[in-house]
Chains A and B, each alone.
Chain A
């Protein structure tokens, strides 16, 4: 259940937060009314007007009877308190998702036994923010303290689980958890919030969430403590099937030159000519990191290197329903890139050049902080 304004009811109603809440109140009133009226009608159908049938109410009534969990979106202090009030008002079997200002209201959440799914995409300074906009103290405090929320939840006794939220990259996930460990959460509690607690919240702890005889063999094997920065994940088991984590290939030769910089990549897809911008940073051993942005979105480079004059880097993007690796490989002659882009057996040529700095503003306008996937 979102408390954010959305369109599409009558003439774009609701288009304000108070309209959204008004609508939600009405939905719950209707559900309650329909449940009572149908029960009364069933008892005495003869001569009684049949209650108006409403698909939304019927679906919601069914969900309530099944004690389905109602997820309420709430992140700020105001939203969290409002979610508590809504759950009270409509007697919901509710859980909150978001929860990042929980450090301010942990006791109130605990008093109401409200479980919280904590978004691991911690609030942070916007990369391309308006230089004239200085954040308020409230915003700064929120960005500083949000990762301390899980520790506050443990202290107050709030049941919580982590979720990835808008976290851009799988490898950022454990980093984000680590932030909350630095802010006082024990590694054990962190692990529980990633395994058993979410399983309990969604009613599947009889088969998932802990290593126990008879449970589904979904396992992670590491070479050290899970939250240690140097730890590598060796295997992941899903339904007992082993998946091996491959180390990205290391460059064989020392790099020829430095590929660092903003590159304009040009290529032709079946949909016509396209361009993207690669912002590359190369380490001394030739390892490449950075981001790629195009009208299709932004992506972080998962692995890459420059070995001699040969470069390779890989991103993972959403293609239709699935995610797929996209590999950029070719040669670097010191001033330009030339090579091909391959994805799922399909390959196209591309060239890369370094434009002068003038275009950076245009890039910013075109590519904001979109979905980084």
Chain B
């Protein structure tokens, strides 16, 4: 049944909805009241037959009785469930071009924030699965990968409006098979360093040694300047090392891809040596083996519900990972790493009730407040509380049920996904598409009519194969 629901959601989201990418500022945020709902606040229990008042994009009131202003838009959620918007701590949606700058082992000069693709249909599809915030990570091809950015899924807004205001930026690290390119080397082509786990550690150590020296040169310069030296020349800014200095200064989060316990402990040792913090371990499929060490180091774990054995280093994965780590005091989230998986993270969280016996609330936390804390945005999102952003999801069933389907998703108090409207609007979009295809075909035929051949009086009106004019020319068209 779970699969069926997944397929249904996938189909539902396949067509997508509004395609507009207007740059105009959105309409002033409407005043909305959601009434008669079962409200799963995550941090303050469950309210039956409760209401939520939304003003200026924020949650203004929550309770069993809320005064609805006259001008408020009322959403009757009788029999429905409201949760905070789902937060995906590991996503690669909305990136234009390659997710990896794989040419070098330390690609911290690259930044996913530079290439946000606000037109990516996966934004809309993930909204349809209840996701409202996502951590947009660089890939795992490099020991130290690119800079990362937390976005809100503000479908319809330009790329510059996607980043989560005030969220600390991050950087992707990766350990194990991916950065050492175990499964990706091409015969005959030279291997990129590193090719072993030892090399991965050395790469990180070398980069931070360099960053420390670089930081010292800036500290020395700043000292000179503050001491009144007016002739001092500033060091050259190195955009590869700047993010690492920010890591050393606690101004940038480290999100490290990893699988095995040994590499997890390795990075904890290196971090201790250079006095920086790892904010989250990503995947961390053997986290249950070192849960105490993770808890002691205060490092978050963002894992899969039950993906396993897709490569050697993932053989020891167990679906109890999230629950076991939670019970040992680790802050755990469940992530998608995949645009489709993200559309049912509520169900992925629910699996930890079956595997490991987490409570309903504990399970829900895995995709709401826990990732919010991991990303340092829990003051704004992750639970339904007065003053927090009105990022909300309305489900037809309990979100941890396999039957739950998203009805509406709100971001900043605006309904950005509405299942009924989506279904109602599909015919219009399909017709527009048909019309445009027909128009192209008609235009393509014109020149043929002009040049009549000698022996044919009138060319037979043969319908062309539908394929001729249909192609997947990318949106940037002819310009190379």
Contacts and interface: CB of A to CB of B under 8 A. Distances in A.
Interface string A8-40: 001111111111011101100110010011001
B43 interface: no
B374 to A, nearest CB: 23
Nearest to A86: B114
B228 interface: no
Contacts of A121: 478-479
B188 to A, nearest CB: 15
A107 interface: yes
A100 B479 CA distance: 8
Contacts of A273: none
B477 interface: yes
B25 interface: no
A246 interface: no
Interface string B445-480: 000000111110000000001111111111111111
Contact of B465 (A5, A73, A131): A131
Given A37-B233, A137-B433, A19 B109 contact: yes
Interface stretch (A202-210, A279-287, A335-343): A279-287
A181 B96 CA distance: 33
A160 B465 CA distance: 39
B231 A142 contact: no
B439 interface: yes
A16 B141 CA distance: 12
A281 B96 CA distance: 42
Given A76-B475, A105-B23, A131-B465, A18 B110 contact: yes
Interface of B is mostly: loop
A130 B453 CA distance: 29
Given A12-B103, A137-B432, A33 B119 contact: no
Contacts of B433: 137, 140
A138 interface: yes
B199 interface: no
B453 A258 contact: yes
Contacts of B473: 123-126, 129, 135, 139, 143
Contact of B477 (A85, A104, A142, A282): A142
Nearest to A29: B237
A14 B101 contact: yes
**In this complex, which of A17, A81, A97, A141 has the most chain B Cβ atoms within 10 angstroms of its Cβ?**
A17
A281 B450 CA distance: 12
B479 A119 contact: yes
B289 to A, nearest CB: 34
Nearest to A51: B233
A355 interface: no
B396 to A, nearest CB: 28
B239 A22 contact: yes
Contact of B467 (A130, A166, A258): A130
Interface stretch (A41-49, A63-71, A188-196, A234-242): A41-49
Interface of A is mostly: mixed
A25 B108 CA distance: 13
A136 to B, nearest CB: 8
Contact of A41 (B19, B233, B478): B233
Interface in A197-243: none
Nearest to B119: A78
Contacts of B97: 5, 16-18
A73 B479 contact: yes
B356 interface: no
A52 interface: yes
A124 B473 CA distance: 8
A75 B112 CA distance: 20
Contacts of B104: 10-11, 13
A100 B475 CA distance: 10
B478 A100 contact: yes
Contact of A130 (B240, B452, B471, B480): B471
Given A139-B474, A165-B479, A17 B19 contact: no
Contacts of A133: 470-472
Interface in A300-324: none
A119 B476 CA distance: 11
A123 B477 CA distance: 5
Nearest to A137: B433
A284 B115 contact: no
Given A17-B114, A283-B452, 19 more contacts: A14-B101, A16-B110, A18-B114, A25-B239, A77-B119, A100-B477, A101-B477, A107-B23, A125-B473, A131-B465, A131-B470, A133-B472, A135-B472, A137-B433, A140-B433, A144-B439, A283-B451, A284-B452, A287-B451
17 contacts: A13-B104, A18-B146, A19-B103, A21-B110, A82-B114, A125-B469, A129-B470, A131-B465, A133-B472, A134-B470, A137-B433, A140-B436, A143-B436, A143-B473, A166-B480, A260-B453, A283-B452
